[in-house]
Amino acid sequence: MPLDSQMFNHKNLMPMAIIIAFIQFTNALEYMALTPVFSFMAEAFSVPVSFSGYVSGMYTLGSVLSGVAAFYWIDRFNKKRFLIQNMLLLGTLTFMSTFTTNFDILLALRFCAGLVGGTTMGVGMSILINNSPANLRGKMLATVISAFSIVSIVGMPVILFFCTHFSWHISLWSISFLCLLSLPLTALFIPSDAAQSRANNKLAIDAQTLLFASCNALVQFSPMLIIPILTPLMTHYLEAQQDQLPLLFLSGGIAGYLSTKITGALISRFSALMLATISTLLFLLSLLLPAMGYQNAFLFIILFLGASYSRLVSSSSVAIQYPADEQRASFSSLQAAIMSLVTTLAFFLSSLLLPDHNIKAQNLDRVLVICALAAAGFPLLIMALQKKTG
């Protein structure tokens, strides 16, 4: 790492990490909030609530296309300028979604939002990791991932509060404001980088690259099957009251944040395989609650989100070891594209498994079984990756 980069890291790393985490928070909130918010939007668009899977799927479909394209050209552009342009477009598209009640137009807007938002996380992470000393990269990784849990702690409750007491329009307007707020923060605290020659640091798409880039996506497939139906699952099947939703997401978010921090702290003391196994067992336990008819929404979301974030930290700590610094932006873009592809399949599958657009016991059990089977293979995946890096 060049001397000037090391000086920048030691003096400005934490402010940069906070801004990247804020960008991740805003980008993740814009992406994640549409699922519960759509419960309030569905009536205006004259479609069932279960169509939230299609809304989310259009976003992730756009992310797949942009992620694959970014794999080939992202190194030719200034990544700081890339972040600014993406957040500006994302805020604009979210704002435009509040001025239509046509479901086809909404799907088109979500597809475009996926095109610009799908690569933001990977590019932001690559900037931070490349400017971080090797001994601090694990800590920085956990800091950014914790932004996702803060979405549940702060973002989701506030968004749902706006929906419940005001309107879903105000919820989306507030997200647009956060996108715009990230622009001056990025301009002030994120370092510029020079465009690089793609020929000098080309990352080949071979079997090993695809395996490491697919790790996070395969881990997240299971929870993403549940996410589109998370709100109706808790309100219709676990008998949670609608006014309890902000507190439910707050409780799950705190559990996710704590599990992220704990897993990040333990990753240097215990093997990723051990942490992956423990978190997977907790995740499977969360699925048993609705499967057995145990109606405790708070316990469910605490176990579900806490285990999901712990699994993600474990997989990320292994996958981050694969690319070289000069290949990290391309690798992250490919990683984001595969994540979006697998998430798209999970979202559409979630809706297809509910043909009557209702959370009935038979359909729910089918989703829970597929979810559990997919989750159970995570420790084996970690074993395979560690053998290749070890």
15-62 confidence digits (pLDDT tens): 888 888 888 899 888 887 887 788 788 878 888 776 777 787 788 788
pLDDT at 12: 67
Question: pLDDT averaged over the chain?
Answer: 80
Which residues lie closer than 8 Å to 103 by C-beta, 6 or more apart? 45, 46, 47, 51
Q: What is the pTM of this model?
A: 0.72
Structure tokens at 355: 């043909």
Query: Nearest CA to 374 among 251, 258, 217, 194?
Result: 217
CB-side exposure of 62: number of CA atoms within 13 Å? 20
Rounded Cα gap, residues 112 and 212, in angstroms: 27
Tell me the C-alpha distance between 365 and 27, whole Å.
32
Closest CA to 26 of 181, 245, 153, 225: 181
Indicate whether 200 pLDDT > 60: no
Alpha helices in 33-119 (DSSP H): 34-45, 52-73, 79-96, 103-117
pLDDT at 5 over 70: no
Comparing 363 with 193, the larger pLDDT belongs to 363
Q: What are the helix (H) ranges across 267-296? A: 272-291
Mean pLDDT of 170-175: 91
Per-residue pLDDT, 10 = 52
- Distance between CA atoms of 243 and 296, rounded to whole angstroms? 15
Give the integer Cα–Cα distance in Å for 138 and 143: 9
pLDDT tens column, 281-308: 999 999 998 888 787 888 999 999 999 9
CATH code matching the domain that covers 3-389, chosen among 1.20.120.1750, 3.40.605.10, 1.10.3720.10, 1.20.1250.20: 1.20.1250.20
pLDDT class for 199, splitting at 50, 70, 90? very low
**pLDDT tier at 358 (50, 70, 90 boundaries)?**
low
Burial 370-390 (b: 16+ CB within 10 A, else e): bbbebbeebbebbeebeeeee
How far is C-alpha 388 from the geometric centre of its chain's CA atoms? 26
CB-count exposure of residue 22 (10 Å: 0-12, 13-18, 19+): buried
Instruction: Give residue 137's identity as a one-letter amino acid code.
Output: R
164 has pLDDT over 80: yes
DSSP state for residue 323 in the 8-state scheme:
S
